[in-house]
Structure 1
């Protein structure tokens, strides 16, 4: 069904086009910077409330490259974007839509879909903030792989063009069509024209298919006299009762009776699930839990890997992840959900084509907020180093732009307005490519300041 000939569609499209008067598309090319911008102080401020002994590991992961630094500093770009142009069209956005926050995972029907897979920063905001973060990450990735600047720009142009064209297509769908629409593995494979990209997709999809709960068990747990126990690998994964762990050195989170407190977190979480899933989860018992460090930007936040088993001792791995306020909140509006974990779950369900069967939220006695989901269940994404040429990387950027356009069309209900603002020419594409290259330059300058602070000893760096 097409909405293109409907009078309401024409009006929405015209409204979006009219927004160019207050925010010309060409104005999106210049990166604005937040006033009184202190990069190192901003990085330090976001370490507040994290496990102190893990902050040096966070900095070490961020120091790996300008791209890694960019991954860990969504708050810097959010502040800069808030100082720049704004089309005025706001909707639920990802908030951290960089290149490595996309990948394959299983739908509840066990079909592989490609989608955004990280929503820690999801919040209402201007749609173009997501697109700008994705485009900058693509340019940084191209530079990190040693591709020349013309190839980086071409990748950004292709990303912008794909988003614009896909968004125009989604704008002509009915709301129900959008709700049911998803980007599946077979769709991506059928549209991949580069053989290298096809090989990449097959490799990542095969990895995802092997990331089942049963296959995860021998990788993460050992069988001892007391039953199954998650395997320690500090500082990445360790038990809360380990007196030599990073947590024990400086943090009493969950205290002595940790298992009982984790069970209370579980009980609270189960109440947020749909009734049938609540019934399913109650057929599992908690066997073990361990602190698990994840990602780059999340290092030092409270995260647990939970091992559960049913009556036949079959495993279920869950992840409990701390949810802090979105980096977008200071520049947009207060969280409306009363729990930051619920904010993450709401944004994820609204933007993803299909979400984890066990996605829910909870809250601790210390008022920390969390969300929960399955751990690694058929989840996989390519690593940057696997992109051997610029064509593969550009094609992957286009896949991310495709699913971002779908997510925005679904979450905002205003695809026609965005399509009207973007138009049919490449004017916005050129502006976005200009922005991505210029802001990537700024990220590299910021990284140099961060690196200097690490070398001077101001920012402690872990050697682990």
Structure 2
């Protein structure tokens, strides 16, 4: 076992980190002398070729959707900034839309990070910077004033600092047991408007279950459920609406007894024995390809519909795991299997994780991880938020990120000592957020020109759906 350091020595490490990474230097955007289009093309390599235009189409909607889909650009840029040397598994893509509500296995609704495709060992401040910049970019897109945007970023970062101070005083088990529940959020809401929205969101989450999704996504015939095609977002890989090439159309139900069955067995081997027993109570009914998010478009993502003996469903999502953009620009040891990387990182960062998290290797050596498709999951509708509610949301994101970092890294004492009691880091992050929003706007304009000139092909969901209409 590792030697336990005294609190004094850990605090000294945090304060000494200021020498190699002065807090004021975090205002710098890093190495932005690169071709964003070339990096995006590199990031699209190996994806389903026919879906890459849809990825670009979703990114083209606004500078904010572009930011969501271009984590590789910011990872590249951050590699050119100073870092504290305090590293551990970070989310890697902690923008404001990658937080949300979901149910724990004990059916408690919590607020936490909810996307870990880019999780990898890296400097903790990279997550804080991605979150800070996301508030500036989203705020500008929504027409929020500059002063208010600065307040949003400052609120988020100061909440991160304050919560990290609290966590630095927690014992190891206290920290691991800490959960940001909706009840705690409601109790700490700073406005009545925010409190009402949280209560409404909690009620909405209660209806977003596997069972409620069944009637929306599938039809029953002769006692068997079949997922309904809705291309380009949802289709059967081996069916008439497939967007996969012939060499990739392996994930149909007929192939289940072959390569996919072996991959599923390997997945079961990554679960605890009681979880394997639970899944054995279900029978596979259907498999479909599902296009999700913005940055993930073009990666393999399947939905498995399973049903138990009572006719009740379980939807599992099988998502391809590729090399993290963080790992590309910050070299550190980690699991060789990309699915295991995602699962391990998620379990470390989240307060409570999906009961069905696991990983496997599929056909063509693609690496995947499993999770439930929906289990009381809700996301923030930031474009509908007033400035007051947005301020509260920024605070909750800062809180959730601090809790995740404190648990995953065990470095709350060091980070808290580095941040100190003042506002120097928060002030630097406000400057960083505005500067990176400006950089993102430039990259977005370059990207849009590439789409207009044919250097990149971008298609909307509506355009691609029209291809399937008679």
Return the TM-score normalized by structure 1. 0.95
Alignment of 1:234-313 (within 5 A): 234-248=231-245, 251-254=248-251, 257-260=254-257, 261-313=259-311
CA distance in 1, matches of 2:169, 2:383: 37
Show the 5 A alignment for 1:15-414: 15-35=13-33, 37-225=34-222, 227-248=224-245, 251-254=248-251, 257-260=254-257, 261-333=259-331, 336-387=334-385, 389-414=386-411
Aligned counterparts of 1:264 and 1:226: Cα–Cα separation in 2: 26
Q: Which runs of 5+ in 1 are unaligned?
A: 1-5
Residue of structure 2 equivalent to 1:3: none
What CA distance in whole angstroms lies between the structure 1 residues aligned with 2:5 and 2:328?
Answer: 37
Q: For residues 454 and 194 of structure 1, what CA distance do their matches in structure 2 show? A: 43
Q: Secondary structure at the match of 1:20?
A: helix
Change (3 A) 1:263 1:207: farther
1:123 and 1:328 in contact (8 A); partners too: yes
Give CA deviations for 1:217-276 in whole Å, capped at 9, x if unaligned: 111110124621011100000011213421147844448943333332221111100111
1:195, distance to aligned residue in structure 2 (A) = 2.4
The structure 1 residue matched to 2:422, chosen from 400, 422, 425, is: 425
> 1:167 touches 1:409 (CA, 8 Å); kept in 2?
yes
Structure 2: distance between partners of 1:94 and 1:300: 21
C-alpha separation in 2, matches of 1:197 and 1:421: 32
CA RMSD of the aligned region, Å? 1.6
After superposition, the C-alpha distances for 1:107-129 in whole angstroms (9 at most, x for unaligned) are: 11000010000000000000000
Conserved 8 A contact 1:62-1:71: yes
Contact 1:200–1:382 (CA under 8 A) maintained in structure 2: no
Q: 2 CA distance for matches of 1:410 and 1:349?
A: 10
> d(CA) in 2 for partners of 1:303 and 1:452?
29
Count of residues in correspondence between the two structures? 457
- TM-superposed CA distance for 1:10, in Å, is 2.5
Between the aligned partners of 2:309 and 2:152, the Cα distance in structure 1 is 51
For the 8 Å contact 2:160–2:399, the answer to whether it is kept is yes
Which range moves more in the overlay, 201-210 or 63-72? 201-210
1:448 aligns with 2:434: no
| Conservation of the 8 A alpha-carbon contact between 1:142 and 1:390 | no
Shift of 1:14: 2.1
Distance 1:206 1:256, change over 3 A: closer
